[in-house]
Amino acid sequence: MLLIAGLGNPDPAFAKNRHNIGFMAVDEIARRWGFSAPRRRFQGQVQEGAIETPEGPVKALILKPQTFYNESGRAVGEALNFFKIEPENLVVFYDEIDLAPGRFRMKAGGGAAGNNGVRSITAQVGPYFRRARLGTGHPGHKDLVHGHVLSDFHKAELKWVEPLLQALADAAPLLALGEDEKYQAEVMRLAPAEKADPRAQARKAD
């Protein structure tokens, strides 16, 4: 089984924040592949289903921790332990300020790079899980980061947010098969984004 977790904050007031693009991504995957209705479990909201691939369906559990972003590891750790899922079968979707808006990168293992949600998961399950990093841009100065990630996407940004979310869902069979490099390439083919300085792009958007 594959565990697909999205990071975000559960309060409806945060629903359209840049920090919640991980929630948005897994919601779109659940919708595209007909997952079950959400229910509360593992200190989170879960949906069960399968992603169809050329090699047959891959069972998956989608998890949106309801512990708030910085404590995401509590929910992820519970689900991983219950199903005895190895960390290499955990994929975490989250916002990445050090990637330009609309860019997407897959990564396995590594540090938290200042992301407290990733740090929380690492503390629970170790660093060897798969990271689906969604570029939201940097505001240009570290003092502006908190306000930047907790602000809503601007209307102009939706022209790349919506195609990116759709691409993440449409290309999910590659993710389900563990083909992370091919998944990244296919997402960027379906929803191309400009290669740019993440700080310059964010300043332009704000």
Answer yes or no: 154 catalytic. no
Residue 62 phi/psi, 5-degree rounding, is -100, 130
Find, among 106, 102, 96, 95, the residue nearest to 182 by Cα.
106
Question: Nearest 5°: CA angle at 91, between 90 and 96?
Answer: 140
In the set 19, 138, 146, 154, the catalytic residue is 19
Q: Is 40 helix (H, G, I), strand (E, B) or coil?
A: strand
8 A C-beta contact, residue 74 and residue 120: yes
CA atoms within 13 A on the CB side of 53: 18
Catalytic residues: 19
